[in-house]
Amino acid sequence: MILSEDVVDKGGVAMEYVVEMQKIRKEFPGVVACDDITLQLKKGEIHALLGENGAGKSTLMSILFGLYQPDSGSISLGGKKVNISNPNIANDLGIGMVHQHFKLVHNFTVTENIILGIEPTRGLMVDTDSAAKRIKELSEKYKLNVNPHAKIYDISVGMQQRVEILKMLYRSADILIFDEPTSVLTPQEVQELMKIMGNLITEGKSIILITHKLKEIKAIADRCTVIRRGKHIGTVDVASTSGEELAEMMVGRKVSFKVDKNKMESGEVILSLENLSVRNIHGVLGLKNFSLDICWGEILGIAGVDGNGQSEIVESLLGLKKVESGRILFRGMDITNLPIRERINKGLSHIPEDRHRDGLILDYTLEENMILMVYYQEPLSRNGLINWDKVHQYGEKIINDFDVRAGQGSSSLARSLSGGNQQKAIVGREIDRDPDLLIAVQPTRGLDVGAIEYIHKRLVEQRNRGKAVLLISLELDEILDISDRIACINNGELVDIVNADETNENEVGLMMAGIKRGATA
């Protein structure tokens, strides 16, 4: 431990920070990722680092963790200047990080994962028993409730995160960095995590919390440093700053969180899933006897923790996966066994969850990407020959209509665009075909506030024109904000469907955990 408990007494440490990053500057070719950023972490505080995607949060933390070297500026730990040239030094100095995507070996046990790289040995043997004992003690001390002998693939995502936390504690880290830790958790799991963070603080740890979720900051952080486009905007006391003020600091202008949405009468049923059962990648039923109706003129949101049947719904709807039993009726037609292209031509459209994997061909230009579903139709091609002039016009029109910013217009390689612009291009491509049903899966994942606002507006517009939208998202706020009705799924089964204006986060959260309305005490 860097400071012992008795030193941390009010007056004495006024100027003493456990971590002090002074005027950090880091330049990459063409971009200044961090421009004179100062971050001071007091002992025993939760310090939030707030900023949009690409603001420089990760770069700053990578510098603290030794992955990058700053061009200028200094880092002090407990008042002493240090040079963190690689992550091992960061470990030795007591800095630990829980990455957004966990770094765990799935067929190893909890203990094996935690000791990986620093295996205690007895003779030539790995001494797992003593390690497991120590992990158990740590787990009890911080009330983590982790079984050291469980295999990673058997435990929930929330539990895996705790394993990551234990990994840091096992390495005696005192400065803990959490990178977007709540993005994979249910609201209830988030509550649990916050309690754990509280315990960690009581035990004398200090936490840096990287996030773009204001609610979490308000709930748990003591102070907050806001950065925007690599610049240090300010460090504020969370208790005396409102959420709106924080948002304005982050984005640089006033933002409205409310999506303008007037009430709409929804029409007839456009899509019904009837008793659908679909296998997941492991070969077991990921969707069990699932029924759901979607109507013209509504946004139906599907709320659920990741991996509870969402991808099976999407894949069976699109025709990427075979249906075990049940059927899919779209505009009265049975499309259960139609090929993908015919479904698209019947008015189905899809904004995929993983835009790099399923949405775009990154080595194609934007215009080549814009014609991905329609290239074989006239006037884009005739007799198997592509008319590249027409393709160019088609691409230019979409990127103008949907405000896609690209260096060389529609001739830019898709790879060269920012995430937000790539997503706008996909949204443009899918909406431009005027689909009757738009399936939007995590349409705003990883985007900044501006792009999120824009895409939400487009989805609502689509519904206002009387079309149907199926929104699948892990962001509960997004579901609550723009859906008309919310279907909650758990473990491949429908828990319940509720009207968006008659429910709240807590209720939906419980349903996501599989607890029906009114079933709680």
344 is an interface residue for other proteins by CB under 8 A: yes
320 is an interface residue for other proteins by CB under 8 A: yes
- Footprint (CB under 8 A) of other proteins, residues 495-514: none
Question: Could you say which of 4, 14, 15, 29 contacts other proteins (CB under 8 A)?
Answer: 29
Nearest to 8 by CA among 49, 45, 48, 47: 45
* The one segment of 6-14, 136-144, 297-305, 384-392 that binds other proteins by CB under 8 A: 384-392
- Footprint (CB under 8 A) of other proteins, residues 419-458: none
Compute the least distance from the CB of residue 396 to other proteins, in Å. Answer: 16
Tokens 């486009």 locate to 229
381 is an interface residue for other proteins by CB under 8 A: yes
363 is an interface residue for other proteins by CB under 8 A: yes
Nearest to 102 by CA among 172, 49, 179: 179
Alpha helices in 13-155 (DSSP H): 57-64, 87-92, 110-115, 128-141
Nearest to 177 by CA among 65, 73, 272: 65
362 is an interface residue for other proteins by CB under 8 A: yes
CB of 81 closer than 8 Å to CB of 164: no
C-alpha 56/C-alpha 53 separation (Å) is: 8
Compute the least distance from the CB of residue 386 to other proteins, in Å. Answer: 6
Compute the least distance from the CB of residue 376 to other proteins, in Å. Answer: 5
341 is an interface residue for other proteins by CB under 8 A: yes
3-state secondary structure 456-484: HHHHHHHHHCCCEEEEEECCHHHHHHHCC
C-alpha 247/C-alpha 13 separation (Å) is: 31
Alpha helices in 83-156 (DSSP H): 87-92, 110-115, 128-141
350 is an interface residue for other proteins by CB under 8 A: yes
How many other CB atoms sit within 10 Å of the CB of residue 402?
Answer: 19
* The one segment of 327-335, 380-388, 460-468, 469-477 that binds other proteins by CB under 8 A: 380-388
Structural tokens at position 460 = 């609502």
Nearest to 269 by CA among 200, 189, 330: 330
Structural tokens at position 83 = 């040079």
Compute the least distance from the CB of residue 251 to other proteins, in Å. Answer: 31
Compute the least distance from the CB of residue 424 to other proteins, in Å. Answer: 17
Question: Could you say which of 357, 389, 407, 520 contacts other proteins (CB under 8 A)?
Answer: 357
DSSP 500: G
Question: Could you say which of 411, 416, 418, 491 contacts other proteins (CB under 8 A)?
Answer: 411
Compute the least distance from the CB of residue 428 to other proteins, in Å. Answer: 15
C-alpha 271/C-alpha 83 separation (Å) is: 60
22 is an interface residue for other proteins by CB under 8 A: no
340 is an interface residue for other proteins by CB under 8 A: yes
359 is an interface residue for other proteins by CB under 8 A: yes
Question: Could you say which of 194, 373, 497, 513 contacts other proteins (CB under 8 A)?
Answer: 373
3-state secondary structure of 287: strand
282 is an interface residue for other proteins by CB under 8 A: no
> DSSP of 4-44, one letter per residue?
-GGG--TTTTTT--SEEEEEEEEEETTEEEEEEEEEEE-TT
For residue 491, give every residue at least 6 positions away whose Cβ sits within 8 Å of its Cβ, in sequence order, or none. 288, 308, 309, 514
318 is an interface residue for other proteins by CB under 8 A: yes
Compute the least distance from the CB of residue 347 to other proteins, in Å. Answer: 13
361 is an interface residue for other proteins by CB under 8 A: yes
Task: Return the number of the residue (29 or 123) whose C-beta is nearest other proteins.
Answer: 29
* CA 329 to chain centroid: 32
Task: Return the number of the residue (314 or 494) whose C-beta is nearest other proteins.
Answer: 314
| Residues lying near other proteins in the complex (CB under 8 A) | 29, 318, 320, 339-341, 343-344, 350, 352, 357-365, 368, 372-373, 375-376, 381, 384-386, 411
